[in-house]
Amino acid sequence: MSESNFVDYVKIYCRSGKGGAGSTHFHREKFVPKGGPDGGDGGRGGHVVLRGNRNYWTLIHLKYARHVFAGDGGCGSGSRSFGKDGIDKVIEVPCGTVAYDADTGDFICEIVSDREEFILLKGGRGGLGNWHFRSATKQTPRYAQPGEARTEKTVVLQLKVLADVGLVGFPNAGKSTLLSVLSAAKPEIADYPFTTLVPNLGIVPYHEHKSFVMADIPGIIEGAAEGKGLGLRFLRHIERNSLLLFLVPANSSSIAEEYEVLLNELRKYNPELLEKQRVLAISKCDIIEEIQMKQMKKTLPKDIPVLFISSVTGWGIPELKDLLWTELCKETNIFGDNIARQPMKTDRDEDEDALFNFAE
C-alpha cells in the first residue's frame, strides 16, 4: 500500500434527512362532496449508516468527501398515501474503524466485522396525516403533524488495523525486515530510523494451510505516549492485536532496558495493553557470537518467551513462527475462532429514541 494512500483519521460532517409532513386532505368523489379525512403520513427521513467492508483498508475514500447528507422524507398525500422514505446514506468503512463525537470526544461505535452496520444518525420520523386525528367529536380535523427535524453531527473516524500479531520496537530494530521475511508484504526497508511511516500488514503462512496476520507499525521511541516521534499516532493500531511481538536488536546497549522502555510507553498509553500475550525476539543475531548470546540470556526478562533470530540468514525464523502460533492458540476458544480480535472494552451509551409528542 502506498504511503500517500494510507489514511487512518478523517473528520466528516453528517446530516440525516428530515421526516416528511403529514397530509391534511379530505376524501372527495363525484357523489361524496364532503368525505372524511384521508391524509396520509409523511415518509421517514434517511439514516446515516456506517457499514463495515472488508475490501477497504484505509479511509482515503472519505478524505475529500467530508459532507454526508441523507435524503429527506416525502410528504403524505390523499387517499391515505404515505410519503416516500428518504434515501439512506451508507458510509463504507474498513473493519476496525471507531467513531467518536468530534465535539465532545465521546465514543459512538466501532465496526469490527464485514457487513456490520450501525445507524450513526437516525432520520426524522414522518408526521401523521389528519386521518389519525379524527374522532367522534372532531370528524374533520384540519391539521396534520409535521415531520421530525433532521439531526446533524460532526464525527471523527479512526482506523485501528486488525491483526493477530503486532510488532513493537524502536526505530530501525528490524521490524519491516522481519515482516518481509515472514510474509509476502513488501514494506520499505532502509538502514535509517523511521523508514516505516505507516502501518504495514502481512499474512504469515503456517503449517496445513493455516495463517495469521502480522502488523508492523512505525517505531516507538521513549516519550511516544506524550507525543514524541510517530508512536502516539500509531499506537492505537496495536490495541486490537492479540499478541505483541517485541523486537530488540542484538547490538543494543541493554536489551532488558529497551524492553522496559517499550513496555513503559505502552503502559502510559493504555494499561490494558499489558494484559496481552507478549513475546520477545532478539533480532540481528547474525552480527554477534554465540558466546555473547549466552551472556545475554542471563540479563533477559524471565516472565515472557524469548527467542534469538536473524531475518537476514533465516536463523530462528521457523522457531519464531511456531512460538507465535502456540501463543496465539492460547487466545483461541474451543471452536477455533480467534477471540482476541474483539475490541477492547469501552464505555458505551445506549441510544434512546426521543419521545415524539403529537401536538395539535
Residues 29 and 63 in one domain: yes
* Predicted pLDDT at 175: 83
Residues 130 and 170 in one domain: no
Residues 143 and 236 in one domain: no
Residues 204 and 130 in one domain: no
Q: Give the count of alpha carbons within 13 A of 232, CB side only.
A: 9
* Predicted pLDDT at 51: 95
Q: Residue 209 burial by CB count (10 A; 0-12/13-18/19+): exposed, middle or buried?
A: exposed
Helix (H) or strand (E) holding 329: helix 317-329
Of 106, 134, 159, the one marking the end of a domain is: 159
Residues 151 and 177 in one domain: no
All three cell numbers of 155, joined, read: 464525527
Residues 198 and 65 in one domain: no
CA dist., res. 12 & res. 157, Å (int): 8
Residues 141 and 97 in one domain: yes
Q: Which residues pair with 118 in a beta bridge?
A: 50
* Predicted pLDDT at 349: 35
Average pLDDT for runs of 10 along the chain of length 360 = 67 96 91 88 96 88 90 93 94 92 92 92 95 90 93 92 83 83 69 58 83 80 57 68 88 85 84 87 84 81 87 88 88 43 39 34
pLDDT tens string 285-309:
887 787 888 888 888 888 888 888 8
Pinpoint the alpha helices (H) of 183-304. Answer: 231-234, 255-269, 290-297
CATH number for 42: 2.70.210.12
- Written as one string, the DSSP assignment of 323-354 is HHHHHHHTTB-TTS-B-TTSPPP-------PP
CA dist., res. 180 & res. 192, Å (int): 17
Pairing of strands 9-15, 152-159: antiparallel
Residues 305 and 198 in one domain: yes
Name the domain count of the chain.
2
CA dist., res. 17 & res. 204, Å (int): 45
pLDDT tens string 231-290:
556 677 777 788 899 998 888 888 888 888 888 888 888 888 888 889 999 888 887 787
Q: Which residues pair with 81 in a beta bridge?
A: 77
Q: Cell 532496558, residue?
A: 257
For the entire predicted model, the pTM comes to 0.68
Domain annotation covers residue 267? yes
Range of the structural domain that residue 191 is part of: 165-329
Residues 85 and 198 in one domain: no
Residues 132 and 51 in one domain: yes
Residues 77 and 57 in one domain: yes
Domain annotation covers residue 179? yes
DSSP helix/strand/coil, 273: helix
* Predicted pLDDT at 271: 84
Residues 79 and 171 in one domain: no
Domain annotation covers residue 336? no
Domain annotation covers residue 125? yes
